Structure 1
């Protein structure tokens, strides 16, 4: 692992544990086992570091999802597979998810970084738009559906942290609950 990755990993742990103001660059450098100079070689400011960490988190999430996308015959099956992939990423990357939830609306991450981090997520819009076009799900604003989807994923991940028994059964039930909220009846 190179020094930049060490810094990003240390920053992730410290930001979720101690917050933005409680985490100094000196503390990040020490945790990463690098000098302050090495940290500032890669990141101009703490704000730059947190923005880059935000972008990296979203890029890792997108790569995970795209690597696991399998085309199914129905929109429901495609959306379910996507939902399951999102849940599994959340469970496998709890620190990243916690960081994302803490800082996705933070003033320390500039709008340009937020736009860069959201680049190439059009496949999500396309997935839901196809289901709307074929009248499988209700025809509402895509952002409303996506926010409902994300809340469902996060809600289940929070539940699963403390309730790991019957995970597969609970995954099925949780998806069915969310699906019923958007299906076109």
Structure 2
């Protein structure tokens, strides 16, 4: 059991080191040697857990995306009205993006660069299926505009990345009132 726990710790250390290096230096300036050094393992140890750097990045992405999904859909009840269900999910996304900075920054990089492969990107998108289902249900009920889920995401969720960036730069801090206003603006952008 102790050996198994040690293996889990090493793998987690490698993932955390990768997350930190990619966020601070970018994908290309995060060589395996730096990852190993930061994780305090030998470079050869990486290959026990991952085939190569691409596999490491893909697995990190899928784990962070899964954590994001778990966070986003906590307390979500699909039986609530469309707006209330969406508000719960949106507020969870806002909380994650504004307070889980390392993970949020990594996911933003993955969304905006070709860092991860297409199979991993598609697998990661499956984590958002409950939100897509909610939007489809809202469209079927005539509550949400009949536009692409990509446009719905762009108008409602993507602005939270901007607000998170402004918070990190200490340019703008979103108050509780501001958060409510941001949600209402997001809802107004997609409701019929």
TM-score under structure 2 length normalisation: 0.86
Q: Tell me, which stretches of 5 or more residues in structure 2 are unaligned?
A: 1-7
Alignment: residue pair count: 183
Residue aligned with 2:189, SS: helix
Aligned to 2:94: 87
Q: Tell me, which stretches of 5 or more residues in structure 1 are unaligned?
A: none
* 1:40 lines up with 2:47 in the alignment: yes
- In the TM superposition, 1:6-155 aligns within 5 A as 6-71=13-78, 73-155=80-162
Contact 1:83 1:153 in 2 (8 A): no
Contact 1:26 1:36 in 2 (8 A): yes
Aligned to 2:191: 183
Structure 1 residue 182 displacement after superposition? 1.6
Residue aligned with 1:73, SS: coil
- Structure scoring higher RCO (CA < 8 A, sep ≥ 6) equals 1
Structure 1 residue 105 displacement after superposition? 4.5
TM-score under structure 1 length normalisation: 0.89
Contact 2:73 2:92 in 1 (8 A): no
Per the alignment, do residues 119 and 137 of structure 1 end up closer, same or farther by CA in structure 2, a change over 3 Å counting? closer
Contact 1:68 1:85 in 2 (8 A): no
Residue aligned with 1:67, SS: coil
CA distance in 2, matches of 1:70, 1:160: 29
Structure 1 residue 67 displacement after superposition? 2.6
Runs of 4 or more consecutive aligned structure 1 residues displaced over 4 Å after TM superposition: none
* 1:173 lines up with 2:153 in the alignment: no
After superposition, the CA RMSD in angstroms is 1.8
